[in-house]
């Protein structure tokens, strides 16, 4: 068990913006929640799953909604505790620790703030090591773990507890509920034992995210060889540098969807189209997919190296497009069905961007 | 406490078809469920609220969905017990009795079958003494009672428990959930104490419904003065006799909606248009509303006096249109806002059909 430093929280938040791959909600709000919680309740304690009792209960908490709405609707904070409390009461068991479902976006930070408020540690593990738009899109699903029982809560006192026999049904029920509750709510799902986390979780994802953020901060400061060090650590590749020449975003069916088209900075005959559902999903060049889910597709400001979220996209922006392999824990039976391009409705196969780089 | 006889169950089901005012689901299925439950578990016991302990917990159970779907999807029965069990567990309290939310349609019968299976009595009271399409449309709402905590369950093991700060939010959350769970599910809402039932319930509604059914059965058998006796007991009026010349039905947003137009049997220049949202809501003659919610608008076969449900409507049918005043318990502050024509989106005021009859 160790305490998070303020520097680490800044790095974690910056890393989470990158791993949010355009979605996942802006970690800036989450960072404020964490710092406020620490000021009020004391330090944030991080533990590895091996440090907790095997049969202990680990709960998650996250914002669920459309990032475009989350940006406008600052969490009250009470909804996360309400959701945890409701699920713990339903299960008849208090959590020994919280865990992020996704390390990527605001949901990297939210469970830290809530864990601090509840006086329990946060587990250095998650189910994605990136952001994904739907509840069932976790490595937990690939291990046969259920998202339900789960809870949804808002800040007004509305609350739902769901049992769902599949994680797809869990997603459908949660999405239907948040459409009624304002499109930015607290969810607590995948209640599991420490033994489940040890077996099925992506371990060390918060540590990974903090290191990504630390290296990205060096890029932003212009430290020598910083880009190289970032690409080296993440095994990422810069696949395109371009200017936004077309952008289409809409909030529909509980998601932010859209498309952004970039024109290459050096060769105007080259364009890249990035398809978005909360997160950046697929990059096409001349109709050919060059980067696809579950690999990460990150847009960064060409000058400042700030990761650009879906909400932050603007006409004329000059961007670097970074492709990053997903966590190796994703590579299991069922991965393509769950989080490959076809899971998002694209009639194409997974493309390993590293093949094109060699 | 007294036991329901088989004759009473038949009368209750027939009365419930009439009080369903075209919707509420076909009580025939409910009657089969009740008879099966009695065969398996023993008699159905009916009690008045005054016979139960004041602080005892009364739960409700009902089918929620679109009647057009309910007709196709026979309940398994297990979903009602699952919904009750989940809500009782959430409340930490077992029910001393069940109560119908609506005496009208299949939901008059469903709680009787479930009460028999659970070995507890059914309370002779409800919240509508007719059928209405939305959860908040009860006299309980007029008394400030909350529909939540409530549960929704299906026969597969999917289940939801909701807290909602208003009954309109409860309706929105429930409707969103059933759209994901197949549009015909078990709901348990308005958990209340016996004291609440005594204060806010419509008392004797099952007895009333049984008597309505008994008198309608006499009409169907052609007993002398039977029509007169039915109209006398219900204070109803025959407002139109016509042939179906146009019919439009669709299942949308979780409801069965539609319009039926009748041409008068004796004067072809007269037509009546009946507007439907699960239930028959409003009858117009020459653009003027002549019968409106919350009064009951019932369509019966001209020859057989069978009540015709929305699903049973067919081109060319010859129908009698019966208008029946709603239970006097509806006449409280807030009634028009909750169940008047404007609550259903019609820009007209309530019309007392009895004014035109005098």
B159 closest CB neighbour out of A159, A163, A177: A163
b/e burial code for range A318-348 (CB count within 10 A of at least 16 → b): ebbbbbbbbbebbeeeebbebbbbbbbebee
Cβ A161–B157 below 8 Å, yes or no? no
Cα A47 to its chain centre, rounded Å, is 20
Cβ A172–B157 below 8 Å, yes or no? no
Q: How far, in Å, CA of B184 to CA of B178, rounded?
A: 7
**Does A187 touch chain B if contact means CB atoms closer than 8 Å?**
no
Measured CA angle at B122 (ends B120, B127), to 5 deg: 140
Cβ(B124)–Cβ(B209) under 8 Å? no
**Does B169 touch chain A if contact means CB atoms closer than 8 Å?**
yes
Phi, psi of B271, rounded to the nearest 5 degrees: -130, 155
Cβ A173–B177 below 8 Å, yes or no? yes
Report the relative pairing of strands A279-285 and A271-277 from DSSP bridges. antiparallel
Which residues on B lie below 8 Å from A163 (Cβ)? Answer: 86, 157-160
Full pLDDT tens readout for chain A, 358 residues: 899 998 899 999 999 999 999 987 788 889 999 999 999 999 999 999 999 999 999 999 999 986 555 555 667 778 999 999 999 999 999 999 999 999 999 999 999 999 999 999 999 999 999 999 899 999 999 999 999 999 999 989 999 999 999 999 999 999 999 989 887 899 999 999 999 999 999 999 999 999 999 999 999 999 999 999 999 999 999 999 999 999 998 877 767 789 999 999 999 999 999 999 889 999 999 999 999 999 999 999 999 999 998 888 999 999 999 999 999 999 999 999 999 999 999 999 999 999 876 5
* Residue A97 DSSP SS3: strand
ipTM attached to this prediction: 0.77
Q: How far is B255 from chain A (nearest CA, A)?
A: 16
Which residues on B lie below 8 Å from A160 (Cβ)? Answer: 160-163, 173
> Which strand (E) or helix (H) includes residue B249?
strand B237-252
Full pLDDT tens readout for chain B, 358 residues: 899 998 999 999 999 999 999 987 788 889 999 999 999 999 999 999 999 999 999 999 999 986 555 555 667 778 999 999 999 999 999 999 999 999 999 999 999 999 999 999 999 999 999 999 899 999 999 999 999 999 999 989 999 999 999 999 999 999 999 989 887 899 999 999 999 999 999 999 999 999 999 999 999 999 999 999 999 999 999 999 999 999 998 877 767 789 999 999 999 999 999 999 889 999 999 999 999 999 999 999 999 999 998 888 999 999 999 999 999 999 999 999 999 999 999 999 999 999 876 5
DSSP state letters, A191-214: -EEHHHHHHHSEETHHHHHHHHHH
Cβ B160–A159 below 8 Å, yes or no? no
Cβ(A258)–Cβ(A247) under 8 Å? yes
Closest CA to A244 of A259, A223, A222, A231: A259
Q: Based on the number of CB atoms within 10 Å of its own CB, is A315 exposed (0-12), middle (13-18) or buried (19 or more)?
A: exposed
DSSP state letters, B298-355: EEEETTT-PBPPGGG--TT-EEEEEEEPPPGGG-STTHHHHHSGGGGT--S----HHH
- Structure confidence by residue, pLDDT tens digits, A270-285: 999 999 988 999 999 9
Report the relative pairing of strands B45-47 and B122-123 from DSSP bridges. parallel
Cβ B165–A180 below 8 Å, yes or no? no
Tokens of A241: 């540098």
Closest residue in chain A to residue B166, using alpha carbons only: A158
Tokens of A4: 């998070």
A169 closest CB neighbour out of B90, B158, B176: B158
Lookup result for tokens 């949901």: A107
B-interface mutation test, from A161, A168, A174, most B Cβ less than 10 A away: A161
Cβ A176–B172 below 8 Å, yes or no? no
Cβ(A278)–Cβ(A255) under 8 Å? yes
Give bridge partners of residue A248 from the DSSP assignment: A259
Tokens of A96: 């020994």
* CA–CA distances in Å: residue B120 to residues A128, B29, B57: 48, 21, 12
* Residue B3 DSSP SS3: strand
CA torsion through residues B31, B37, B39, B42, sign: negative
Phi, psi of B311, rounded to the nearest 5 degrees: -70, -25
A158 closest CB neighbour out of B157, B165, B181: B165
Q: Is the peptide bond before A324 cis (omega within 30 degrees of 0)?
A: no
Cβ A158–B169 below 8 Å, yes or no? yes
Q: How far, in Å, CA of A36 to CA of A41, rounded?
A: 9
Q: Note the helical H segments in B222-274.
A: 226-234
Does pTM surpass 0.90? no
Cβ(A130)–Cβ(A298) under 8 Å? no
Q: How far, in Å, CA of B264 to CA of B280, rounded?
A: 18
């Amino acid at each position: 068990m160790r305490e998070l430093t303020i520097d680490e929280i800044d790095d974690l938040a910056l890393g989470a913006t990158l791993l949010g791959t355009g979605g996942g909600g802006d970690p800036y709000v989450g960072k404020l929640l964490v710092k406020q919680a620490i000021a009020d309740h004391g330090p944030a304690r991080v533990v590895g799953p091996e440090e907790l009792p095997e049969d202990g209960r680990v709960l998650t908490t996250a914002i669920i909604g459309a990032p475009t709405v989350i940006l406008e609707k600052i969490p009250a904070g009470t909804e996360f505790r309400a959701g945890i409390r409701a699920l713990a009461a339903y299960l008849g068991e208090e959590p020994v620790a919280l865990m992020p479902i996704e390390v990527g976006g605001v949901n990297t930070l939210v469970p830290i703030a809530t864990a601090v408020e509840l006086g329990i540690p946060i587990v250095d593990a998650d189910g994605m090591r990136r952001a994904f738009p739907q509840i069932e899109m976790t490595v937990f699903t690939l291990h046969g773990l259920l998202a339900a029982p789960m809870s949804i809560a808002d800040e007004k006192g509305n609350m739902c507890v769901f049992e769902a026999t599949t994680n797809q049904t869990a997603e459908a029920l949660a999405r239907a509920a948040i459409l009624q509750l304002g499109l930015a709510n607290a969810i607590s799902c995948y209640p599991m034992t420490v033994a489940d986390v040890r077996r099925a979780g992506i371990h060390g994802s918060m540590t990974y995210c903090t290191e990504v953020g630390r290296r990205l901060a060096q890029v932003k400061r212009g430290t020598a060889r910083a880009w190289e060090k970032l690409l080296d650590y993440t095994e990422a590749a810069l696949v395109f540098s371009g200017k936004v020449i077309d952008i289409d975003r809409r909030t529909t069916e509980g998601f932010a969807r859209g498309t952004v088209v970039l024109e290459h900075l050096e060769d105007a005959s080259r364009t890249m189209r990035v398809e978005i559902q909360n997160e950046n999903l697929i990059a096409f060049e001349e109709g050919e997919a060059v980067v696809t889910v579950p690999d990460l597709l990150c847009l960064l400001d060409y000058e400042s190296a700030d990761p650009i979220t879906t909400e932050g996209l603007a006409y004329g922006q000059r961007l670097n497009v970074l492709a990053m392999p997903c966590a190796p824990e994703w590579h299991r039976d069922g991965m393509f069905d769950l989080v490959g391009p076809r899971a998002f409705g694209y009639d194409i196969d997974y493309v390993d961007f590293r093949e094109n780089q060699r």
